[in-house]
Amino acid sequence: MRALYALALCLLAGLLMSRVVKKLKLPAVTAYLVGGILIGPYCLGRLGIPGLGFISHEDVLQYKIISEVALGFIAFSIGNEFRLRQLKKTGRQATITAFCEALGATTVVTVVMIILHGIIGKKFPLDAAILLGAIATATAPAATLMVVRQYKANGPLTDILLPVVALDDAIALAVFAVFCSVVTSMNQGAISLISMLAEPILEIVLSLMLGAILGAALTFCEKFFFSNSKRLSLCLTFVILATALAMNTIEVAGFHLEFSGLLVCMMLGTVFCNTCHFSEDLMSKTDAWTAPIFILFFVFSGAELEFSVFSDIAIIGAGLLYILTRSLGKYLGAGIGSRVTGCDGNIVKWLGVTLLPQAGVALGMSLQATKTMGEAGLLVRNITLFAVLIYELFGPMLTKIALTKAGEISVKPTVVKKTNTGRMRHEKA
């Protein structure tokens, strides 16, 4: 019963805040995050009343399964952006640009953080500097996708943005695995090139293979159903199945490997949209019934944000430096990559701004750092938490601004209508 109260409260908080931020012309994602903060451990949760807000972060984590499924649907939707006819237009540009912006962020952050280590020494370990450089690569696809959907953004920038975000996470996983291997090898006094490259490559390949198999199976099974409701239910089944399978770990050639849920579900969507002839119509119908799940995902994300990091001035300083250098790296990398590939001027100018949001993947990496790197990992976790807090609150707003400046979010003209009472009413056309 308490779980149902909590879910109802989350939906209500997100919906009510969306009415508030609409007046401020902010994205709905921001409303959901703020709604989560308000019912989280640092606001309503402080009252300690079960069911009226989350009283602790452990309380929020009880609903992690919903967030995992929501991420699965987000990745599944992004897979729809990899239709072959679309890739023929933007595939080369998206791939090169994704590598440039991801590695640009990694390079700038790593260099600056190593310099910071050189200045203040042991207070900021070299391990932390290197791992933060890897985490800087990741971008949050959820916030970006929600802004695109809410404002029905359409144009060259939107066309390249979603594939870049999807590829970004694959690159981030590989970079983080390599950097972790470098840090481990440094601590052990030896660097193994095989261990650095084999594990991330295997994880990515196995994740894509699993997603491709599930995508082919989904297309095959869809042939036996003819109503949209049953076909949509089958999609739901396979996304949940893919999310569950991605939570498993396996042993391959002595390596302890984990699947990437984002890559598995993204590949599931990619194969399905390219092999099922009615997939386009079906994918467009998923928006309506996944909306409540996405609201819950962002409300939970807001409730999870860790405000205790503000108590340490050193974390705030390092966090601000990380935010500035990562933003610079993303912007410069995206600009260079899009310019080299001959992209539209608006893409060169605004793509980097849309790539700032950071959340789930980055937090997962920082959690992994705490498990393996001790105090350095804890420092990385706290800096990442601070950065995610800032990026999640301001990233969606910046994405909206960039898409608007690029002319891909249309501002509907105001028209005047006469009501039954004879009064004039202003409405959006």
Q: What is the mean pLDDT of residues 362-385?
A: 74
Position 424 scores a pLDDT of: 47
Q: What is the mean pLDDT of residues 260-264?
A: 80
The pLDDT-based confidence of 189 (bands split at 50, 70, 90) is: low
Backbone angles phi and psi of 396, in degrees to 5: -60, -40
Q: For residues 295 and 34, is the Cβ–Cβ distance under 8 A?
A: no
Q: What is the mean pLDDT of residues 70-92?
A: 77
pTM above 0.75, yes or no: no
Q: What is the mean pLDDT of residues 223-252?
A: 86
Position 255 scores a pLDDT of: 64
CA 222 from centroid of its chain's CA atoms:
29
Among 59-68, 180-189, 346-355, 386-395, the range scoring the smallest mean pLDDT is 180-189
What end-to-end distance do the CA atoms of the chain give, in Å?
Answer: 43
pLDDT of 66 over the 60 cut: yes
Position 336 scores a pLDDT of: 92
- Which token pair is 150? 């809410």
Q: Which residue has the higher pLDDT, 221 or 409?
A: 221
**Biggest alpha carbon–alpha carbon distance for the chain:** 82
Find all residues with CB under 8 Å of 172, minimum gap 6, and list them: 102, 134, 135, 137, 138, 139, 361, 365
For 143, other C-beta atoms within 10 Å of its C-beta total: 30
pLDDT of 190 over the 80 cut: no
Backbone angles phi and psi of 408, in degrees to 5: -105, 0
Q: What is the mean pLDDT of residues 394-398?
A: 85
Q: What is the mean pLDDT of residues 227-241?
A: 88
Q: Which residue has the higher pLDDT, 129 or 251?
A: 129
The pLDDT-based confidence of 415 (bands split at 50, 70, 90) is: very low
The pLDDT-based confidence of 111 (bands split at 50, 70, 90) is: very high
Q: Which residue has the higher pLDDT, 406 or 371?
A: 406
Q: What is the mean pLDDT of residues 155-178?
A: 81
Q: What is the mean pLDDT of residues 170-195?
A: 70
Q: Which residue has the higher pLDDT, 245 or 31?
A: 245
Among 93-107, 162-176, 199-213, the range scoring the smallest mean pLDDT is 162-176
Position 37 scores a pLDDT of: 86
Q: Which residue has the higher pLDDT, 237 or 361?
A: 237
Nearest CA-CA partner of 253 in 187, 189, 206: 206
Position 421 scores a pLDDT of: 52
Give, in order, the Cα–Cα distances in Å from 90 to each of 29, 100, 113, 279: 27, 15, 34, 20
Position 168 scores a pLDDT of: 82
pLDDT of 39 over the 60 cut: yes
Position 191 scores a pLDDT of: 55
Q: Which residue has the higher pLDDT, 193 or 186?
A: 186
pLDDT of 414 over the 50 cut: no
Sign, CA dihedral 224-266-28-403, equals negative
pLDDT of 360 over the 70 cut: no
Where is mean pLDDT largest: 2-6, 49-53, 264-268?
A: 264-268
Find all residues with CB under 8 Å of 352, minimum gap 6, and list them: 101, 330, 331, 332, 333, 334, 335
Q: For residues 366 and 135, is the Cβ–Cβ distance under 8 A?
A: yes
Nearest CA-CA partner of 60 in 41, 43, 35, 42: 41
Contacts 24+ apart (CB under 8 A), 310-313: 310/386, 312/382
Find all residues with CB under 8 Å of 261, minimum gap 6, and list them: 68, 71, 72, 75, 242, 243, 246, 247
Q: Determine the Cα–Cα distance for residues 410 and 85; give it in Å rounded to an integer.
A: 25
Q: Determine the Cα–Cα distance for residues 141 and 263; give it in Å rounded to an integer.
A: 12
Position 423 scores a pLDDT of: 52
Backbone angles phi and psi of 251, in degrees to 5: -110, 125
Give, in order, the Cα–Cα distances in Å from 104 to each of 10, 133, 166, 332, 357: 37, 10, 17, 7, 16
Query: With the CA atoms of 33, 37, 40 and 45 taken in that order, what torsion angle do they form, in degrees rounded to the nearest 10?
Result: -150
Q: Which residue has the higher pLDDT, 122 or 296?
A: 296
Give, in order, the Cα–Cα distances in Å from 415 to each of 24, 88, 421, 428: 20, 40, 18, 6
Position 242 scores a pLDDT of: 92
Position 80 scores a pLDDT of: 76
Q: Determine the Cα–Cα distance for residues 236 and 217; give it in Å rounded to an integer.
A: 13
Q: Determine the Cα–Cα distance for residues 222 and 238; give it in Å rounded to an integer.
A: 11
